[in-house]
A and B are shown apart, each in its own frame.
Chain A
Amino acid sequence: MAKGIKDKVAILGMGCSKFGERWNASPEDLMVEAYSEAMADAGIGPEQLDAAWFSTHMEDVGTGRGGTPMSIALRLPNIGVTRVENFCAGGSEAIRAAVYAVAAGACDIALALGVEKLKDTGYGGLPTATVGTYIPQWYPNAVAPANFAQLATAYRRKHGVDAALLKRAIAHVSVKSHANGAKNPKAHLQKTITEEQVLKAPIIAEPLGLFDCCGVSDGAAAVIVTRPDIARALGKKDLITFKALQVSTSNGWEMHSNQWDGSYVHTARIAAKRAYEEAGIRSPREEVSMLEVHDCFSITELVTMEDLFLSAEGSAVKDVMDGFYDADGKVPCQIDGGLKCFGHPIGASGIRMLYEMYLQLQGRAGPRQLTNPKIGLTHNLGGQPSQNVCSVSIVGLEGA
């Protein structure tokens, strides 16, 4: 394996818009919110940016295609702006591109920004997407909740978990995220909920109910990255650096062979292993301080705890119920509310996850600040369990 990017690139600044139903904000407004905060945080001017990567998923209801929507909205100084799209993992891809450009020495300072404007569709939930001309002729007219709900049916069978127990465990996942989101002024959903509310909510896709599904939100997030020496030269101290950036993409094995059992996400395990290796982490359950994972649905978060080798296979139900991932648990997860409550503007989510890690590592997370976190992990999943793109990133204090 290549040496990787551990400690080669630092975060110079970050910004994140308020997420939510931003009825009166255009995608351009959301971009400006995230970008202006990030630029002020970095303390640089636009002329210091060498290149930018732009993540947005649903161009048809959002910004339109290509790199120009971002370049125009931010009036960037004619630098290269490249649009990246990799389902819900697009934000992490934009980060990866910017970080790699800096690590390669091609750029000194690079910007990654993600935005999604989902609330211009006229209905709740995600818009229906086009998927070429062949797939619609055989593939189900599937929606995300039912794709992810299948994790639950397969997980129950594999581990012999009672349906009611699993339903309670995933309810705990959502209750925890709502408790966290209530402390985040930028979160889409800021109300606490009870287990009873989750269990009684209407079913969206069996066995997932309304509170098992994340918010569909408008929002944008941005990160500016540079080399550690440049960051220091710009006056930055206590740098936050990248330890690992890994992406694993399905090749059809899960969906088409008979070998995958449907109860976990294959690519997440591959990306996690590679990321731990790149970051030099041997015992993730002990070394990772905190997590932001892709909790598009409560069941996704539960199986992800096993896919990231934090909970042993088959034991995530117990860990979740024991509060291991709660704000006061051993490894707090979704401390900002996660996709569940902070919200899920698709192209921005990977960068939003990094934003919380950045704030926590700097001690700037306000009422939800954890005690002395050193290593943060983000897990950003695009697609669906049987066919997806999975990003696992690790960041931390320089030298940690």
Chain B
Amino acid sequence: MIGIVGYGGYVPRLRLSRKAVVDANAWFAPQFAGKSSGTRAMTNWDEDSITMAVAAARDCLGPDENRSRIAAVFLASSTLPFAERQNAVIVREALTLGRHVDVLDITGSQRAALSALSEAIIRAQAGAGDTLVLAADNRKTQAASAAELDCGDGAAALLIGHDNVLAEYLGAATVSVDFVDHFRLAGEEIDYGWEERWIRDEGIGKLVPEAIAAALKNSKIDAAQVDHFIFPTSFQKMEAQLAKKCGIKEAAVVDGLARQIGDTGVPHALLLLARLLESSAQPGQTILLAQFGSGAQAFVFRVTEAISAFRPNTGVSDYLARGVEESSYTKFLSFKGQLRLERGMRGEQDKKTALTTLYRHREAILGLVGGRCEKTGEVHFPPSRYSYTPGHPALDTQKPYKLAERRGEVLSWSAESLSFNMSPPHYYGQIDFEGGGRILMEFTDISRGEVESGTKMEMVFRIKDVDEVRGFNRYFWKATPVRPQSSVGDKKKGSE
């Protein structure tokens, strides 16, 4: 049996109030008055499709250091930060996967995640090791556009393999057609779209049913047998209309989370699937998921008895519950690079990255791998040839020691408004790791009053600095407060 052996998701903590957007733009775009309900997920300034993919992967893989079962990583996105420099290999380094793992960026359409899934299934059928399918999107939209309100940011992960299959792969089908509902030339940032009625009726309305019919036929499943139907769309009730057209029962339609987070783009089908698998999927049930873009693609899975044996590390439901409503539209525009706020002279500091240095220290920088002294057990970050043991510095006794999945606590901290930071005040402090190790590091995703000496923290992979002169992102790890599981009802409002 082959299929899904693990899953995870990630939704950024910030949820932009649609009302804040609609109100701010009311003078210019009063036609959106009816779209002001709910929130959309928005990335923090230090998140992109790479960092969100890492977060979703960690949600899927959990804290286990042994990730040797993974033979390939596919990263699907329409918003990959780098056009040259493989994005997926950065994810591999961050996850400290083996250097012989195959990595691949898959992009170019909104169904890129399903294209990646298709390739992962083929690898599994060929008897290869597990493939980690990651999808993430961090789309930039035009200010005062419908897309700005409809889109959200997020990521998802599926692990495809043979052992302990949670959802068995039954079949799939692809329709590849150059139906240009929207496009974006290389180097451009914002999509250009065509008339919605045409997209809905001639595009989605015809191409998706074709893919679904073929996938169900290949799976030997009748449409009426589908228990869960996932189809991400920004068109209201489109998924219900499709279900009806395809003969899928109305109750099977999975909510698209438009109200809470919006349409996250490439990852959205997998994100909805991850949420379904962690919450309501029952053994024996059939799941149909489809996505539209340069044609359409559909997959059919059947949930197995093993479904209850797997839990994601945090889970999409918890990420949904952790949302903090953001009422500042200018913060959203600033984080998306669409509004340049005054940075002061301290914002002029050159962020040129020495690539030689990055390569020498890539395991420490991207993987947060320290050095543990074999004699004393003391942990060093960054790793060094001599240990710090007072009076007895030992030479070359340190072995690689991974810190990313270890929690820590704040020894000391401050928050300052002097240096330039995209989200002031700038928090940082010393983190002492459980099991040893200390790093003076930056904090992220933090609210005022949330941190004190002794606060438990965990690690997240984020953008450290942006070199705007040369166009390069530096990535490193930051500390964020450990948040209780299922903290539903703990929502805060306002702007941090």
Quick check: is A235 within 8 A (CB to CB) of the other chain? no
Interface pair A138/B382, CB less than 8 Å apart: yes
Smallest Cβ distance from B286 to chain A, in angstroms? 47
Interface pair A125/B429, CB less than 8 Å apart: no
Interface pair B388/A146, CB less than 8 Å apart: no
Chain A, Cβ-Cβ closest to B451: A153
Quick check: is B137 within 8 A (CB to CB) of the other chain? no
Smallest Cβ distance from A312 to chain B, in angstroms? 22
Smallest Cβ distance from A315 to chain B, in angstroms? 20
Q: Can you sample 6 A-B contacts with CB below 8 Å? A: A123-B344, A138-B382, A146-B415, A146-B416, A206-B415, A257-B378
Quick check: is B486 within 8 A (CB to CB) of the other chain? no
* Interfacial residues of chain B within 368-423, with CB under 8 A of chain A in the complex: 378-382, 384, 388, 390, 393, 410-421
Q: A151 is contacted by which of B358, B412, B419, B476 (Cβ under 8 Å)? A: B412
Footprint of A on B, CB under 8 Å? 344-346, 349, 351, 353-354, 356-358, 361, 364-365, 378-382, 384, 388, 390, 393, 410-421, 425-426, 428-430, 432-433, 436-442, 452-454, 464-465, 474, 476
Quick check: is A23 within 8 A (CB to CB) of the other chain? no
* Chain A residue contacts of B410, Cβ below 8 A: 153
* Chain A residue contacts of B358, Cβ below 8 A: 137
Quick check: is A251 within 8 A (CB to CB) of the other chain? yes
Which 10 A-B pairs have CB atoms at the shortest separation, nearest pair first?
A: A205-B416, A150-B412, A133-B354, A149-B414, A146-B414, A154-B412, A146-B416, A157-B453, A140-B428, A262-B412
* Chain A residue contacts of B433, Cβ below 8 A: 258
Quick check: is A204 within 8 A (CB to CB) of the other chain? yes
**With A149-B416, A154-B412 given, can you name 8 additional A-B contacts, CB distance below 8 Å?**
A128-B419, A133-B356, A142-B419, A146-B414, A253-B390, A256-B438, A257-B378, A258-B433
Chain A, Cβ-Cβ closest to B362: A137
A256 to B398, CA, bound (A): 14
Smallest Cβ distance from B110 to chain A, in angstroms? 34
Q: How large is the interface on A (under 10, 10 to 19, 20 to 34, 35 or more residues)?
A: 35 or more
Known: A121-B345, A123-B344, A138-B464. A154 touches B411 (CB 8 A): yes
Known: A140-B441, A257-B388. A203 touches B417 (CB 8 A): yes
Smallest Cβ distance from A364 to chain B, in angstroms? 38
Interface pair A386/B440, CB less than 8 Å apart: yes
A174 to B369, CA, bound (A): 43
Interface pair A256/B417, CB less than 8 Å apart: no
A123 to B420, CA, bound (A): 13
Known: A146-B414, A205-B414. A141 touches B426 (CB 8 A): yes
A299 to B165, CA, bound (A): 58
Interface pair B357/A137, CB less than 8 Å apart: yes
Footprint of B on A, CB under 8 Å? 121-123, 125, 128, 133-134, 136-143, 145-147, 149-154, 156-157, 203-206, 208, 251-253, 255-258, 261-263, 386
Chain A, Cβ-Cβ closest to B348: A128
A149 to B425, CA, bound (A): 14
* Chain B residue contacts of A253, Cβ below 8 A: 388, 390
Known: A133-B357, A138-B464, A257-B388. A262 touches B349 (CB 8 A): no
Chain A, Cβ-Cβ closest to B355: A133
Known: A138-B382, A142-B440. A258 touches B432 (CB 8 A): yes
Smallest Cβ distance from B377 to chain A, in angstroms? 11
Chain A, Cβ-Cβ closest to B452: A153
Interface pair B438/A257, CB less than 8 Å apart: yes
A151 to B474, CA, bound (A): 29
A2 to B454, CA, bound (A): 43
* Chain A residue contacts of B384, Cβ below 8 A: 252
* Chain B residue contacts of A255, Cβ below 8 A: 430, 438, 440
Known: A146-B418, A153-B453, A206-B415. A139 touches B357 (CB 8 A): no
Smallest Cβ distance from A298 to chain B, in angstroms? 14
* Chain B residue contacts of A261, Cβ below 8 A: 411
Smallest Cβ distance from B423 to chain A, in angstroms? 13
* Chain B residue contacts of A137, Cβ below 8 A: 353, 357-358, 361, 365, 464, 474, 476
Smallest Cβ distance from A53 to chain B, in angstroms? 30
Smallest Cβ distance from B67 to chain A, in angstroms? 22
Smallest Cβ distance from A386 to chain B, in angstroms? 6
